[in-house]
Structure 1
């Protein structure tokens, strides 16, 4: 009996990943593929789940968790009922941890060998409108300016809308619920690590442009930006260095990266992972 891979991907992600090429490779290797959707669940095929399910269900998870969407819950329950009868890449419970930046960063902080820039969460209107209270929270947590303001929700187009705030007089610019985190200068370079599978050696590193360094010499107006415009393969922003990424002199320690991958994969219980 030939192995079967099931898949669920939104159309946008399907085309972005050129997923049809993966389906062609599977066919050549005599691996059967089947799309997991409502038609699948209403058919006789659902009685025998595929060996593996690859999915991108984060949009539906957000609707279930954040909007209490009953239709989303019912659809996801059908996936949960297959637990133990198929391999899910990845489990919905593990992915749910990634939807909230406070949860993400708190879990990372529990790994003692990983440095997470200090952060606080602003989740209520009363605190968001009290700049003095926010400043006290920043001081208590040793968070210095500049700070970066990120939506607490870590998925969806709105999650990429961020701000860099340079002093306490501009704390009024924050939009809650959000994470306020110390901005760390990193020379306008970002390394992304992509991991696939249970083998800690199966990772791939790419370099991307990122936000240039800042020095606090005077008060600056808050900078608003969309993170995908600053750090992507086609990024071209006035927040970048304005020149090609130069990585001369930077040595990547693959053993340290391997250990980083192992720790994060174990903590979040994920087999398909991207790390900045």
Structure 2
């Protein structure tokens, strides 16, 4: 049992300790030292196809994310999105007008949630004509190179009219034929290289015809995650010489170059072909497209014109590409997510 004097003495000691703590906190605040705060959980809701979920949400990513306080939660597309969560970030890659309407309404009703990315912005990359329009307007000559788009045209008519349309437009063979719409199906990724005009009439509109640019058989895949840029080399089609063009006829399937097995990063290549595009050029290109497209997650397929060190062409832009094929993507993506939360925290009004 404590006496009254002991109780009063204890109260005085507690008061002095409290005053000292307040002074210490004030001093730390003045010199810019912050007290450690408990780790805050970041909830990322995701709506992905089963294929994208398997390639992106790999165990290593989820383990690293948990260590950094990031929790991935699956969104049930059969339930109202507003009834789920709460989320700090919504990550999605689903097609269809119904889903676009759902996510757009959610964005309007929940401005506090970061949605990656706006459906109307993603929609532009579902059309191979609109996806490259912003690149055509760029002038990056002050950034150690020139970036453009190969000459191309859109065909929507009967295939028998294609040779005549190509002649009128003055496009030169060979031509890369690509489906106009990118709808996630295997067919939308079926590309052909047409060597003669007669084979053009065998193609199936609607499609985009793009002049083939000799590029030494190497394509640069430029991955964008927020402000981070990662460049990988992939093997592509070899150069086409005039002699070959005179001998070869028909339209041949264009091999896909997105798989890791097509990597050319460790190959013994001619330095003039293997040299990566200049970093200032890539940074400016990524920044411009990020602003013009309104997207945070995309990749750019780019080639260098053979024999010209500083002339490049963008031939495709893809939304939320296969980041799982990008080395160290787990750290890059989790750091990006944390930067979104930090940015949101910095924008909060000071009270």
**Cα drift, residue 20 of structure 1:** 3.7
Q: Does 1:52 align with 2:89?
A: yes
Partner of 1:25: 64
Give the 3 Å change call, closer, same or farther, for CA 132–44 of structure 1 in structure 2.
closer
Partner-residue secondary structure (3-state), 2:53: helix
Q: Which residue among 107, 118, 132 is the counterpart of 2:151?
A: 118
Mean Cα deviation higher: 153-162 or 245-254: 245-254
Q: Which residue among 202, 211, 234 is the counterpart of 1:208?
A: 234
RMSD between superposed Cα atoms in Å: 2.5
Distance in structure 2 (CA, Å) of the matches to 1:179 and 1:123: 9
Aligned 8 A contact 1:167 1:219 in 2? no
Q: Which residue among 189, 193, 203 is the counterpart of 1:164?
A: 193
Aligned 8 A contact 2:198 2:250 in 1? no
Q: Which residue among 46, 62, 65 is the counterpart of 1:7?
A: 46
5+ long unaligned stretches in structure 2? 1-39, 141-146, 302-351
Partner of 1:67: none
**Cα drift, residue 173 of structure 1:** 2.3
Q: Does 1:130 align with 2:161?
A: yes
Partner-residue secondary structure (3-state), 1:105: helix
Q: Does 1:179 align with 2:202?
A: no
Q: Does 1:149 align with 2:177?
A: yes
Mean Cα deviation higher: 17-26 or 258-267: 17-26
Aligned 8 A contact 1:166 1:216 in 2? no
Q: Give TM-score scaled by structure 1 length.
A: 0.80
**Cα drift, residue 264 of structure 1:** 1.6
Number of equivalent positions:
247
Distance in structure 2 (CA, Å) of the matches to 1:96 and 1:86: 20
Partner-residue secondary structure (3-state), 1:81: helix
Give the 3 Å change call, closer, same or farther, for CA 117–43 of structure 1 in structure 2.
closer
Partner of 2:5: none
**Cα drift, residue 138 of structure 1:** 2.8
Aligned 8 A contact 1:131 1:171 in 2? yes
**Cα drift, residue 224 of structure 1:** 2.1
5+ long unaligned stretches in structure 1? 65-72
Partner of 1:78: 102
Distance in structure 1 (CA, Å) of the matches to 2:81 and 2:280: 47
Give the 3 Å change call, closer, same or farther, for CA 111–17 of structure 1 in structure 2.
same
